[in-house]
Structure 1
Amino acid sequence: MRLLIALPLLLAAASPAGFTPGLWQVTSAPGTATLGGRSLGDLPYDAPATPGEVCLSAADAANGAWLARDLGPGCTLTSRKLVKGRIDLAGTCAPQAPGLARGTVRITGRWTTTSYDLRFTTRNPSENGVMGFTGTMSGKRIGACPV
């Protein structure tokens, strides 16, 4: 009987609670841009996706909020779910001008304790129509943080 009670506790303790702290190589790549539902031929930025590095602390590793670290000022995560290898983050951003609706951001995808592959989508009402962006983000743990 004790084993039946202890087994779920042992499995819960062995389950990953989040990402593994350490040095991570991260890449973000733009996808598409739309204005008023119409595809824009050129993205407003054309820099190639180049990997960067992020030192992930134990506190940040416990949840997925660090994945939204590039959100601008006035943006807030409203929902954060990391369950069984799936990520679903959602948030809102301050309107671009008075009287406009708040913008939205959504980050979804798959993760393990040492990697992730995600897709992001943003929608931001502007005076010229709703501007939308999509893209991808990926990361993998590459070692310990430098001392």
Structure 2
Amino acid sequence: MAFTRDFLKSIDWKSISEKAESQAMSDMRLTSYFDDPENFSVVIDFSYREDEQSGEEGLTNFLRVIIRTDAETTDDDITETVNDYVLDNYVMPAFQSHIESLGIDWDEFYEEWLLGYPGPEFDISFDNDIDIGEWVE
């Protein structure tokens, strides 16, 4: 099967992101990167989008992770570590599950499209200035 840009653009990225986010909140493993969090939430947004900044007809693999907590990080430089963890443990399994639900062989898709494609651009932010009185669940 030939995987095209239009195919990639047609994928339900919101569903994949929600599944990854739900799993991250369910197992709460990301809390290990923070000192004793009492409140914790994560937002995951993963997609391929038109690359508007380059002006070229290309797609950008985009991953945005927002972690909100009242705790401090255990390490000042955990951005890439958390990004890799989220991508490997939540996003890619959700992505694979979605591709397979379309009746597409994941290995074929991975080898033909993803293997030669650049890794995701990512934006990860930690918001640990939340006042407990303002916490929204």
TM-score higher than 0.5 here? no
Larger Rg: 1
Q: Which has the higher strand share?
A: 1
TM-score range with shorter-chain normalisation? under 0.3
TM-score (norm 1): 0.26
TM-score (norm 2): 0.27
